[in-house]
Structure 1
Amino acid sequence: MIQVENLVKHFATVRAVDGVSFTVEQGEIFGLLGPNGAGKTTTIRCMMDILKPDSGRIRLLGQPVTEAAQNRIGYLPEERGLYKNFPLLECLTYLGALKGLPRAEARRRGQVLLERVGLAEYARRKIKELSKGMTQKAQFLAAIVHDPDLLILDEPFQGLDPVNTELLKSILLEEQSRGKTVILSTHNMNQVEEMCDRILLINHGQAVLYGPLSEIKAQHAEHAIRLECDALPPDLTGARRIEQHNDAYELILEPHVSPQ
């Protein structure tokens, strides 16, 4: 479905992406995880042909990156931006048609999606008249209005409140159930754990962890216990690390120590 092989991208002397490789299978939600500045967005921009890699190979939907392939992709960039003077529904209709949908179908899908996220009553409002949260949801809809086979989403929940975050998560899971493939870039591990089948963890432009989330968690699990108490005994042994959280302590145990 998606193949990225030995991707390298420099900016002057900075190696922003350093030999990253991964595959994404059809119908899975794949997490691209890492801190800010790790190389996630640069990787995505190379995949979308916004940036030209210095070396490496990228295939999307089984073919090299072409305009035809991009019409089957829904892309939510890190930098949000819609046509501010367009009415909301007209904007979605225009973007859907731009990606190859008949205009009537683009408009119908736009109306359905606005209903889905609670924005139907704002269909005739100009983008510039919407609140920040509404605009965030509108940008998300712009990425899926043309019913793409592949969604590439860069921090899709950024700036959303918990209710709308859950709403967009449910839509992504619905898209997956319809056979769509999702690449989700985030720095939030909780979001990855809730949604992703497999992940790639990037740091300083390099792949650190890659594979099914369940396997990675099993391989890197730490023995830990949580104690709620005022203070720990001074002669406590067997803890490799102790972290205090308000009135509780989390003890990361040595490998040979049983939590019992």
Structure 2
Amino acid sequence: MSTLVIDHLNKSYGSLRALRDMTFDVRAGEIFGFVGSNGAGKTTTMRIMLGVLAADSGQVRWDGVALDLETRRRVGYMPEERGLYPKMKVGEQLAYLARLHGMSPAEATAATEYWTDRLGVGARRGDNVEKLSLGNQQRVQLAAALVHSPDILVLDEPFSGLDPVAVDVMSAVLRERADAGVPVIFSSHQLDLVERLCDRVGIVRAGQMEALGTIEELRTTDRPRWLLDVAADPAAVRAWAAALPEATASAVPGRPGAVVVELADDAAGTEQRLLAGALELGAVREFAPVRPTLTDLFRHVVSAADGDAPPPDGDPRPGRARAEVAA
């Protein structure tokens, strides 16, 4: 199966360096999350993929060949700002866009009906786009990206403005497309959604890729941290944790018997010795690894330029979702 390769893209606007050797790939059958602050270079990268902008240097390749006009006809693109004709009917517009991609009238009509029904706007095919809610316009915009059965999907903030039900529908559609072998790349500021949906993630800052990998890879640290909640005198728990060799410990606000212990390494059996020591103090109510979320990682990467970024160690305070505290 084919891979979309973004190879050392550079782009400047006068003195502003928008992209700096931007390099990554999106593999067939995977969903790739492209995240970064506003102005980090995500949209510029996507527009270069589509040929809307020209790179100063670098290349975008599909199946080993540089993308050209013919190849880009096989890409489904969803811009961050809606690119629909507001006074045109939904069904007519989608069929028209499908025809532009080479589909016959019958194929275009069938695809329009399928995707509007699949995305929950089938009843609005006869309405002008401007009469739709922002969420339904977003669904129609996704239908426009899908109507010609693209081989590649490039989506800029596709979940913006959607309610939870629409998010679930769109997530399912993207997973279906990926399972069919389509490489899917999307940008989003909804990092919990990116963490849940994506196979790999790239974190961008100041026009260059700063972190890249699976969620599991990005969350792995050299110094494992463990949350221990022991049914014992809090002072005794803190004293025991402070005396641990080759480890550092910190109290957990609002949880008197809980500490987070950071180990010097991840040698086999270290966590079991830690648990055994805690059990000598009292019953262990909770013992779980503390790992950074994508939000923690994002904050760390984005703040790194200021020189004051704390390590992305997670946050085991009460009320935090367990999925964000433990693996």
State the 1:218 CA deviation: 2.2
- Provide the rounded CA distance (Å) in 1 between the counterparts of 2:214 and 2:143: 28
Match among 18, 25, 28 for residue 27 of structure 2: 25
Amino acid in structure 2 at the alignment position of 1:168: M
CA, structure 1 residues 220+37, in 2 after alignment: closer, same or farther (shift >3 Å)?
A: farther
Written as runs of structure 1 = structure 2, the 5 A alignment for 1:70-219 is 70-219=72-221
State the 1:9 CA deviation: 1.0
2:222 aligned with 1:223: no
Amino acid in structure 1 at the alignment position of 2:106: A
Amino acid in structure 1 at the alignment position of 2:95: T
- Provide the rounded CA distance (Å) in 2 between the counterparts of 1:36 and 1:251: 36
Instruction: Give the root-mean-square deviation of aligned CA atoms.
Output: 2.6
Contact 1:222 1:252 (8 Å CA) reproduced: no
Q: Secondary structure, in 3 states, of the residue corresponding to 1:200?
A: strand
TM-score normalised per structure 1: 0.87
- Provide the rounded CA distance (Å) in 1 between the counterparts of 2:250 and 2:118: 47
Amino acid in structure 2 at the alignment position of 1:255: L
For structure 2, the 5+ residue unaligned runs are 265-269, 276-327
- Provide the rounded CA distance (Å) in 2 between the counterparts of 1:252 and 1:45: 44
String of CA shifts for 1:200-224, please: whole Å, max 9, x gaps: 2111112111223322222478525
Q: Secondary structure, in 3 states, of the residue corresponding to 1:36?
A: coil
- Provide the rounded CA distance (Å) in 1 between the counterparts of 2:190 and 2:93: 30
- Provide the rounded CA distance (Å) in 1 between the counterparts of 2:213 and 2:167: 25
State the 1:76 CA deviation: 0.6
- Provide the rounded CA distance (Å) in 1 between the counterparts of 2:251 and 2:98: 53
- Provide the rounded CA distance (Å) in 2 between the counterparts of 1:44 and 1:221: 36
Contact 2:228 2:260 (8 Å CA) reproduced: no
CA, structure 1 residues 162+221, in 2 after alignment: closer, same or farther (shift >3 Å)?
A: farther
State the 1:53 CA deviation: 1.1
For structure 1, the 5+ residue unaligned runs are none
CA, structure 1 residues 253+72, in 2 after alignment: closer, same or farther (shift >3 Å)?
A: same
CA, structure 1 residues 221+65, in 2 after alignment: closer, same or farther (shift >3 Å)?
A: farther
- Provide the rounded CA distance (Å) in 2 between the counterparts of 1:242 and 1:56: 49
2:263 aligned with 1:255: yes
Q: Secondary structure, in 3 states, of the residue corresponding to 1:75?
A: strand
- Provide the rounded CA distance (Å) in 2 between the counterparts of 1:140 and 1:187: 18
- Provide the rounded CA distance (Å) in 2 between the counterparts of 1:209 and 1:164: 29
User: Which position in structure 1 is the counterpart of 2:306?
Assistant: none
Amino acid in structure 2 at the alignment position of 1:199: V
TM-score normalised per structure 2: 0.70
Query: In terms of mean alpha carbon deviation, does 64-73 or 140-149 score higher?
Result: 64-73
User: Which position in structure 1 is the counterpart of 2:55?
Assistant: 53
State the 1:112 CA deviation: 1.1
- Provide the rounded CA distance (Å) in 1 between the counterparts of 2:206 and 2:108: 40
String of CA shifts for 1:104-160, please: whole Å, max 9, x gaps: 111111111111122111110111111111101111111101000100011110111
Amino acid in structure 2 at the alignment position of 1:11: Y
State the 1:187 CA deviation: 2.7
Contact 1:33 1:187 (8 Å CA) reproduced: yes
Query: In terms of mean alpha carbon deviation, does 36-45 or 144-153 score higher?
Result: 36-45
Query: In terms of mean alpha carbon deviation, does 186-195 or 164-173 score higher?
Result: 186-195
- Provide the rounded CA distance (Å) in 2 between the counterparts of 1:114 and 1:31: 25
Bigger Rg over Cα: 2
- Provide the rounded CA distance (Å) in 2 between the counterparts of 1:220 and 1:119: 48
